[in-house]
Amino acid sequence: MENDVSSLVTILERETESYQELLNLARKEQQIILSGNIDDLALIVGAVENLVLASRELEKERMNLFHSISKSLNISPEAETLSELIEKLAEPDSKNIKASQHKMSRILGKLTEVSRSNAELLERNLNYIDFLFSLMDEEGQIYQEDAKKKTTGAKLFDQKV
């Protein structure tokens, strides 16, 4: 069981590092959204996808170890939580797991904040694009099925303000 606990601590640390990398990428993504560089945004999204896949694998490993350790400590499946595990483990391991848990929680909180902010920025950009398209449509520029432009009224920039 000691090997499992040591492996669990290592995986928790690797997961924490992975979430920190996701946070760093989310912050870069925010700067890219603000700058409007679509090519860089596509690169960041690809990197995020790869990191999320790696994080899922770490989570699977962590959950397998967690269940194995819980079973060894006679923790019922209904009560299987990291906090319960921390209470049952000896001092150096419990302290390390608790520190990793705390650090991961902080990082995930920040990641949630930045992700929400990015979603709001993208929503604003999409609303602005929709607004521009509606202006063009209101001004009479319509595309027919054969992709030829047909003007039905005044042009977008020919009006007096």
Query: What is the CATH superfamily name and number for domain 2-128?
Result: FlgN-like (1.20.58.300)
Residue 135 CB neighbours (<10 A): 11
In degrees and rounded to multiples of 5, residue 69 shows phi and psi of -65, -45
pLDDT digits (tens, 9 = 90+) for 116-132: 999 998 888 888 787 87
Name the DSSP class of 161. -
The pTM is what?
A: 0.74
pLDDT digits (tens, 9 = 90+) for 66-87: 888 888 888 887 777 888 888 8
SS3 per residue for 61-109: HHHHHHHHHHHHCCCCHHHCCHHHHHHHCCHHHHHHHHHHHHHHHHHHH
* Spatial distance between the Cα atoms of 69 and 78, rounded to a whole number of angstroms: 14
Say if residue 158's pLDDT is above 60. no
